[in-house]
Structure 1
Amino acid sequence: MSKSFTPAEVATHNNADKGLYIIVDSSVYDVTKFVDEHPGGAKILKRVAGKDASKQFWKYHNESVLKKYAPKLKIGDVKDAAKL
């Protein structure tokens, strides 16, 4: 049931009305309902919503965090952009 997203599609989900999606290592996560539970606060997730947050994620988290939350937050993957 995993869906494929383009980076442009993820970018449209950058506010609470449209949903808050982030990309971590080519996987797309819907953090809309998680934003208020985030131990680091909602502000940081809102700042990276609609973007590739891999660098920021790995700076503060390890693999165990991804394994814990991925089952409920992962909604798909980023499909490869067409090469020109």
Structure 2
Amino acid sequence: MSQQFTKAEVAQHKDEKSMFIIVDDGVYDVANFVDEHPGGAKILKRVAGKDATKQFWKYHGKNVLDKYGAKLKVGTLKDEAKL
């Protein structure tokens, strides 16, 4: 079973050592991918610790997630109560 994270926990990971982003319900650590990202490091740093779903799907197809997702995925987003 993969680790589950709250949005607050994801928000704590936004530096060079662990840079988490959320895409759909997956949590990905892109810290080691920053230098490889074709769009540049600045874009990933801007969404670090946040839900990047909308931005991700605006510029990427499913093939990108299929190619890199398994390598970068660290867990899933925990369902939180909506009040």
**Which TM-score applies when normalising by structure 1?**
0.93
Give the secondary-structure state (helix, strand or coil) at the position aligned to 1:38. coil
Give the secondary-structure state (helix, strand or coil) at the position aligned to 1:10. helix
Q: Does 1:15 align with 2:15?
A: yes
What RMSD, in angstroms, separates the aligned Cα atoms of the two structures? 1.0
Residue 16 of structure 1: how far off its partner (Å)? 1.4
Q: For 2:54, give the aligned amino acid.
A: K
What residue is the counterpart of 1:26 in the other structure? Answer: 25
Cα deviation code 1:11-57 (max 9, x no counterpart)? 0011214x100000010000000011000000000000000000000
What residue is the counterpart of 1:70 in the other structure? Answer: 69
What residue is the counterpart of 1:3 in the other structure? Answer: 3
Residue 83 of structure 1: how far off its partner (Å)? 3.8
Residue 82 of structure 1: how far off its partner (Å)? 2.5
Determine what percentage of the aligned residue pairs are the same residue: 69
Query: What is the count of residue pairs matched by the alignment?
Result: 83
Gaps spanning 5+ residues in structure 1: where? Answer: none
Give the secondary-structure state (helix, strand or coil) at the position aligned to 1:15. coil
Give the 5 Å matches for 1:17-56: 17=17, 19-56=18-55
